[in-house]
Amino acid sequence: MDPPANPVQSLPVASRLPSETIAFAVMVTALVVAPFFTYPLFLMQVMCFALFACAFNLLIGYVGLLSFGHALYFGWASYLAAYSAKAWGLTPELAILTGTATAAVCGFLTGFALGIIEGLTKVFFPEASNTVIFVIMAIVLLVRPAGLFGRHA
Please give the model's pTM, rounded to 2 decimal places. 0.43
Q: Does 13 have pLDDT greater than 50?
A: no
Q: Does 19 have pLDDT greater than 70?
A: yes
DSSP 47: H
Please list, in sequence order, all residues whose beta carbon lies within 8 angstroms of the beta carbon of residue 147, skipping any fewer than 6 positions away.
Answer: 153
49-84-66-106 Cα dihedral, nearest 10 degrees:
150
Q: For the chain, what is the mean pLDDT? A: 76
Over residues 95-116, mean pLDDT: 86
Q: Is the distance from CB of 43 to CB of 34 less than 8 angstroms? A: yes
pLDDT, position 81: 92
Per-residue pLDDT tens for 67-95? 666 777 888 898 999 999 999 999 999 99
Taking Cα atoms as reference points, which of 76, 80, 86 lies closest to residue 98? Answer: 80
pLDDT, position 82: 92
CA distance 54 to 49: 9
Lowest-pLDDT choice from 37-46, 104-113, 136-145: 136-145
